[in-house]
């Protein structure tokens, strides 16, 4: 099948959906992106992008746009939650670039989305198109939207995130699972955290059953600090919705005796919403008929390695390469190739994200002492990060070649 003649529909104009639209465009292949929201405007949160994703945006000539709105983090620092003791301090900035070739940045999601949709071109993005069903029984797939409209496609890419409708349609049920953590997120003006040590770093403060990660963002709010507070509570999550209102002071349940700089940070914004962290099991296949999943729709993960968005970007690049490269092969062979190239890597990152959370949350004792010693070691941190941040998803060999880190 000639990919340039294929009608490709991408469901979701999030990080993965917009990235695959750009990647396809770089191959000279068109696609149409359908997004449920009326406006492309992610509010209230940021994201950290590591070298394994930034390499593609730089390669595509978007580095200058990131210069304007991203903040390159100065270090990766681990601390004890209560005393503030530094457990590990690993320089980022130039040292990180030297090691991995690209930047490690914090960026507001609205700014990231703006860079991406500008590059895609709004003429290819259809807003207010909430997918309700897909009919894949005829000569092509027909997407039906809640507003009553429809669109035809030869390939449907489900990039509709952790709450994926495309995945639900593919499986016939909604298979999300509560991961046992909840979180509160906020962005604090830098002047409100005068006692926060190393605000330009990405820092993880670790406590018994909970942690906080924070990093600076760039753009209009340059230097302001984005934080995400995580606790193993409650179990079970008592709501049907993924996000629920939080009572006043609820965020302090695990954190009231933490370091004063953290209390200063988390008490300086209103935290009245609590997020349940949910995930999806890895499926044997990410494709059925003319439909293929990527990003969170394929493998929603817990965010403890900061890799959900980065993995969506890797998926997007590889799927676009497989489409561009499909030559005379069938759609089904192309989908199988994409899955072969991505399954092992995604599965490994999913597992590492879970075990990283367990490591952050250790109670006092021998295991925590052992962890602290390892986190202080440059060599051990290399072992923890190199295989993720140093990975080039586009440099793939077929898995049985065992190259490119896919099966590490």
Ligand X SMILES: Cc1cc2nc3c(=O)[nH]c(=O)nc-3n(C[C@H](O)[C@H](O)[C@H](O)COP(=O)(O)OP(=O)(O)OC[C@H]3O[C@@H](n4cnc5c(N)ncnc54)[C@H](O)[C@@H]3O)c2cc1C
CB 96 to ligand X: min, Å: 15
φ, ψ (nearest 5 deg) of residue 84: 80, 5
> Alpha carbon of 43 to those of 40, 46, 61, 78, 266: distances in Å?
10, 9, 26, 28, 18
Nearest residue (CB) to ligand X, 1 versus 381: 381
In this structure, the number of other CB atoms found within 10 A of the CB of residue 354 comes to 16
Contact (CB, 8 A) for 287 and 331:
no
CB 230 to ligand X: min, Å: 8
Q: Residues in the site for ligand X, rule: CB under 6 A?
A: 11-17, 34-37, 47-48, 129-131, 159-161, 165, 183, 185, 228, 295-297, 303, 306-310, 312
Residues 14 and 112: their CA atoms lie apart, in Å, by 10
CB 162 to ligand X: min, Å: 6
DSSP track, 286-314: SEETTEEE-THHHH---GGGS-HHHHHHH
Active-site residue identified among 71, 102, 215, 338 = 215
Quote the tokens at residue 192: 């409100």
CB 53 to ligand X: min, Å: 7
Nearest residue (CB) to ligand X, 243 versus 373: 243
**Active site (annotated) includes residue 215:** yes
Nearest residue (CB) to ligand X, 116 versus 261: 116
Q: Which segments within 222-358 are labelled E, that is strand?
A: 225-231, 243-245, 273-279, 287-288, 291-293
Q: Which segments within 102-188 are labelled E, that is strand?
A: 105-108, 125-126, 131-135, 141-145, 150-153, 155-158, 177-188
CB 303 to ligand X: min, Å: 4
Under DSSP, the state recorded for 162 is: T
138 Cβ contact partners less than 8 Å away, ≥ 6 residues apart: none
Catalytic residues: 215
């Amino acid at each position: 099948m000639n990919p340039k003649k294929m009608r490709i529909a991408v469901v979701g104009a999030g990080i993965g959906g917009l990235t695959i639209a750009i990647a396809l465009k770089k191959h000279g292949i068109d696609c149409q992106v359908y997004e449920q929201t009326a406006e492309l405007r992610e509010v209230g949160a940021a994201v950290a992008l590591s070298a394994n994703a930034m390499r593609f945006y730089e390669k595509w000539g978007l580095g200058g746009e990131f210069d304007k709105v991203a903040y390159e983090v100065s270090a990766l620092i681990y601390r004890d939650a209560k005393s503030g003791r530094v457990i590990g301090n690993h320089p980022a900035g130039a040292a990180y670039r030297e090691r991995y070739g690209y930047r490690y940045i914090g960026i507001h999601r609205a700014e990231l989305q703006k860079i991406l949709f500008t590059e895609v071109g709004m003429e290819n993005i259809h807003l207010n198109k909430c997918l309700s069903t897909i009919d894949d029984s005829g000569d092509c797939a027909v997407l039906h939207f809640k507003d009553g409209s429809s669109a035809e496609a030869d390939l449907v890419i489900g990039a509709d995130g952790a709450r994926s409708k495309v995945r639900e349609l593919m499986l016939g049920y909604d298979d999300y699972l509560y991961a046992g953590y909840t979180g509160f997120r906020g962005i604090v003006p830098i002047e409100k955290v005068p006692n926060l040590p190393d605000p330009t770093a990405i820092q993880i403060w670790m406590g018994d059953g909970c942690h906080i990660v924070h990093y600076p963002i760039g753009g209009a709010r340059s230097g302001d600090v984005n934080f995400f507070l995580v606790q193993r509570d409650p179990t079970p999550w008592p709501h049907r919705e993924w996000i629920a209102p939080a009572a006043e002071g609820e965020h302090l349940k695990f954190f009231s005796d933490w370091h004063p700089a953290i209390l200063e940070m988390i008490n300086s914004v209103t935290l009245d919403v609590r997020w349940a962290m949910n995930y999806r099991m890895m499926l044997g296949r990410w494709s059925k008929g003319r439909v293929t999943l990527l990003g969170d729709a394929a493998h929603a993960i817990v965010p403890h390695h900061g890799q959900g968005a980065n993995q969506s970007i890797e998926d997007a690049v590889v799927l676009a390469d497989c489409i561009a490269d499909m030559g005379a092969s069938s759609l089904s062979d192309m989908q199988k190739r994409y899955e072969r190239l991505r399954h092992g890597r995604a599965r490994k990152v999913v597992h590492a994200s879970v075990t990283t959370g367990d490591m952050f949350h250790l109670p006092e004792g021998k295991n925590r002492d052992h962890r602290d010693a390892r986190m202080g070691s440059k060599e051990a941190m290399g072992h923890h990060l190199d295989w993720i941040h140093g990975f080039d998803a586009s440099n793939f060999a077929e898995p049985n070649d065992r190259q490119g880190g896919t099966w590490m």
